[in-house]
Amino acid sequence: MKNISKIKEYLKQIRQIKMLYRWLIMYIIKRNHICKNGSGNKIIQTKADFYNSKITFNGQNNQLIISQNCRVTNFTIFIQGNNNCIKIGNNCQLKGGILWMEDNGNIIEIGAGTTIEPNTQISSIEGCSIIIGEDCMFSSNIAITSGDSHSIIDMEGKRINFSKDIFIGDHVWVGNRVMIMKDTNIPSHTIIGAGSLVNKKFEFQYTALAGIPAKVIKENVDWKRERI
């Protein structure tokens, strides 16, 4: 019995050492800061790397799901509210920016193989979803937002600017300084030129969009990451 007790104590110490090691890796070596205010908040991480990032939960039952072989560097992830979910697919690379949620029931999904360059902000509020497909390529200084954050009212005092969903298909290339606004649909195999403002639903794939507001400037085009 004494030997069994010693073995149990030894195994307990090993588990504590492993937990300390994970803590050192997560918080010191990789310089991440994680703050959970509320109950039921979860980070589900599978063979993913987080470096120099800040994660804040303020609310209940929120989830951050980071799939295999992701690399997230210099990112701020902020969730304010309840029952929100951020899901980052396999093999994504997020190199700097903000994922922001306010209110309840929001969803942000980033599809497998998508890459995001620095200073990009993706914001979902008022129970909206922002869905980004697979193998998308986002340049830097991009803003994607499901709402206006403040109220616009008519002469009777009724609000008229409610938040709405955003959908971005697979294999979409978004140029530098693009803004993607609420109630937008961007089909798969789309190119969005630098400095454009996208604020409506587009229907056809294999097009290039540009302008303020964006419109179709080319048809029957696609893109590759490689210069050929």
Give strand pairing partners of 166. 130, 184
Neighbours of 18 (CB within 10 A): 10
Per-residue pLDDT tens digits for 114-171: 999 999 999 999 999 999 999 999 999 999 999 998 999 999 999 999 999 999 999 9
Q: Considering the entire predicted model, what is its pTM?
A: 0.85
Residue that wins the pLDDT comparison between 128 and 20: 128
Q: Are 74 and 118 in contact (CB under 8 A)?
A: yes
Per-residue pLDDT tens digits for 84-111: 999 999 999 999 999 999 999 999 999 9
Domain boundaries, the chain: 1-30, 33-219
Q: In the chain, helix, strand, coil percent, each to 5?
A: 10, 40, 50
For residues 63 and 94, what is the distance between their CA atoms, to the nearest angstrom? 18
Q: What is the DSSP string of 30-90?
A: S--EEEEESSS-EEEESS-EEES-EEEEESSS-EEEE-TT-EEESEEEEEESSS-EEEE-T
Give domain 33-219's CATH architecture: 3 Solenoid (2.160)
